[in-house]
Amino acid sequence: MFKGSFPALVTPFKDGELDLDTLKKLVDWHISEGSHGLVPVGTTGESPTLSHGEHETVVAEVVKAAAGRIPVIAGAGSNNTREAMRLMQHALSVGANAALVVTPYYNKPTQAGLIAHFTALHDCCDLPIVIYNIPGRSVVDMTPDTMGQLAKLPRIVGVKDATGDLARVCAQRITCGKEFAQISGEDGTAHGFNAQGGQGVISVTANVAPKLVAQVQEATLAGDYATALEIQDRLMPLHRAIFTEPGVVGVKYAMSRLGLCSDEVRSPLTPLTEPTKALVDAGLRHAGLLN
């Protein structure tokens, strides 16, 4: 189920409120463009500044709009174990296919704490879990050995790996097994990640270039790394430009340039600066998405 390109879906806003009409249009567009799944209310979905009610609304609306055509991995992370359990149970109740659960941020648990957290989430309902390991944001790194222990639980099925360390894929194949789904959380290294044994990407850039990102994934999964590299060469300036400032700000601006949604973000994020806008425009042109 979890192979290919999964856009880390943005949450569109209009005058500070959820823009659900645009959200539904984006779901249909991603399916028509060849995305293999969707991940609402992750960091790129601005989950830190959504209310709990908004979070649940976005998950429910994306699942409803997808209508079983592609899988939905719902963001359900929290540094509060009980809150993460509630988010998972809600995602299951509305029909999500899995939950993306980040390692608890700010409170800096030990590896034993990580095992306790994810075991509790595993046991709280029947929803499969994709671990999200992103030490740069959460300030805690789940080791391959810890992940291997958690992978023994039947509903912990994979990892979104945003460590940027391609050797991790090989290490985790040893500790977690070859059937454990390893999905890249970094656009710039997703091509190489699959060469090491990965099978997909949860992508920010796919919000604006879903067809190209999906084509990279399809080529690598077919073993055609030469074709994948040609497409990645088209995308790399856009990847870099989008992440010059926070990725959601960059990609929402890029989407606004293509008329997909507004570039509105919530505080404490701020609109893209003019120099970065020029970089994103250049990246869009290099990728053949903007004249």
The domains of the chain are located at: 4-224
- The H-or-E segment that residue 7 falls in is strand 4-7
- Annotation-wise, does 44 bind a ligand? yes
Residues 6+ apart with CB under 8 A from 21: none
Check if the beta carbon of residue 102 is closer than 8 Å to that of residue 77.
Answer: yes
pLDDT of 107 higher than 80:
yes
- Annotation-wise, does 163 bind a ligand? no
Question: What does the pLDDT average to over 200-216?
Answer: 98
Check if the beta carbon of residue 39 is closer than 8 Å to that of residue 75.
Answer: yes
pLDDT tens digits for range 242-259: 999 999 999 999 999 999
Question: What does the pLDDT average to over 59-85?
Answer: 98
Predicted model pTM: 0.97
Active site positions, annotated: 132, 160
pLDDT tens digits for range 222-235: 999 999 999 999 99
Q: What is the pLDDT of residue 1?
A: 72
3-state secondary structure at position 102: strand
Cα–Cα distance for residue pair 220/229, rounded to 1 Å:
9
Check if the beta carbon of residue 117 is closer than 8 Å to that of residue 104.
Answer: yes
CATH 3.20.20.70, applies to 4-224: yes
Task: Tell me the two tokens of residue 244.
Answer: 């010059």
